Each structure stands twice: as C-alpha cells, then as structure tokens.
Amino acid sequence: MAEHHDQHGAHGAGHDEHAGHHPNYKKIYFTLLGLLVVSVVGPVFGIVWVTLISAFGIALVKANLVIQNFMHLKWEKRIAKWFLTASLVLMALFVGGVSVDVLNHEGNNWENIAAQAAVERGLAAAAGEEVVEEEAAEPVDVGFNAPNMFNLVCASCHGAAGDGKGAAGLALDPRPANFTDPAFWAERDRARIVNVITNGGASVGRSPLMVGWSASFSAEQIEQLADYVETFRPGA
C-alpha cells in the first residue's frame, strides 16, 4: 500500500505543480480537426501563398496546440523547454549550415554535377511522361543528348569548347585532355576514346581523375559522347 501511495506521490499536487491542469480537451480536439480541414482545402485554390499559410502555417499552429495542451508543455518546468529548444537550435544550425550547398547546385568554384543531372533528367522525364510510360523498357534513354550531357558532365573539366580549360579542370594535375589539340589525336583512335569514357583514364595508364562512366551511361550513349568528342578534333 505504501508503494501504491508513493507512485501517486509523484503526481500529487504537493510534489508536482504540473499535475491537475486539464484544459477543455474536447474543444482543442475539434479546433485541431477544423484546422486539418483548412489545411486540406487551402491548397485546392492553387495560390502559392494560400498553400504556404494553410499547409505549413497551420501545421505550426496545430503542432503548438498539441505541444502546449496535450503534452502539457505550457505547465512544464523550464528545464524541459530548454532541452527541446537546445535540440531545435542544433537542428537549425545543421540546416542553416548545409542549406547553401544543398539548395544550390553550383557556386563560385564548384558544381554539383550529379544534382544538376538529376534535375535535368527528372524535368525531361516529367515533360515527356507519356513517352516514358510507352517506352518503359529504356527509361534512361529519354532525354539523352550527347552535347547537353557533355556540357553537364564533362565540360566542368574538359571545357565546353573541349579545350581542357573547364573551371574544375584548372587545378588538376595532369591537366584534362585538350580535344582541340592535334597532338592529342595523333596518339588516339576512336576505340581508345570509347574505352577511356567507359573505364576511366586509369585503365590506359592515364589520370585516375578521369573516372569511368559505364555505370551512368549505356554503351550507345558512350558512343554518342565519343561522337561529340570527335567534333572537337581539328579539321573534323
């Protein structure tokens, strides 16, 4: 019996000021349901600011109602609020710290090629959605365009003009290949170009910084890229 008493002791008004606060839960519950209806109806109009307020603004209001009244944070000791605030601050630091890199796909001295390619692929697929569904067997080929892909993936090092002077390539040693140099073509044939794009520079004893692209592109796409590289050849 003493044990039983102790359990309730933690909740007795004398020990825990927090206990005994019970707002009108039914009223809060129906307010929450009303807000839910608004958050679903608001975006139907398709107006950006109405959607933002009705979806995200109301989410904040709903969460606050639950946290203050159902979780009783309103009546809780300050230390619990500090715990939660500290976590929120850490989260904000994380988001604030990385957002510049995640939200942008390029900066002064860098480029997120994979993210740019993902955006391009996704938008192309969305624009040609019906086509994608009809030719579901080879969805990767949709929207592939060798010059665009060269500019997206290769040009950062090899330069959009194929001269080896891409921004990311300037710092590389050895320097990226210059496709406009006759000396480059004196030593290389078509098979070698295809091989290096497929397996990387290291496969022929050249720079490992030129990585292989066999995982990203099909053999056919690599042939198209090789065709495009050959257009830089002097006199081509």
List the interface residues with another protein, window 100-119 (CB under 8 A): 102-105, 115, 118-119
Per rule CB under 8 A, is residue 231 in the interface with another protein?
A: no
179: left (phi over 0), alpha (psi -120 to 50) or beta: alpha
Report the residue from 24, 25, 45, 236 that binds another protein according to the rule CB under 8 A. Answer: 25
Q: What is the DSSP letter of 106?
A: B
First to last CA, the chain: 97
Helix (H, G, I), strand (E, B) or coil at 163: coil
Per rule CB under 8 A, is residue 161 in the interface with another protein?
A: no
Per rule CB under 8 A, is residue 47 in the interface with another protein?
A: no
Per rule CB under 8 A, is residue 131 in the interface with another protein?
A: no
Per rule CB under 8 A, is residue 67 in the interface with another protein?
A: yes
Question: How many Å apart are CA 36 and CA 34, to the nearest integer?
Answer: 5
Tokens of 98: 């990385």
C-beta closer to another protein: residue 121 or 233:
121
Dihedral (CA of 184, 189, 192, 193) sign:
positive
Tokens of 178: 């210059």
Contact residues toward another protein (CB under 8 A) are 3-4, 6-11, 15-20, 22, 25-26, 29, 32-33, 36, 39-40, 43, 51, 55-56, 59, 62-63, 66-67, 69-72, 76-77, 79-80, 83-84, 86-88, 90-91, 94-95, 98-99, 102-105, 115, 118-119, 121-123, 125-126, 129
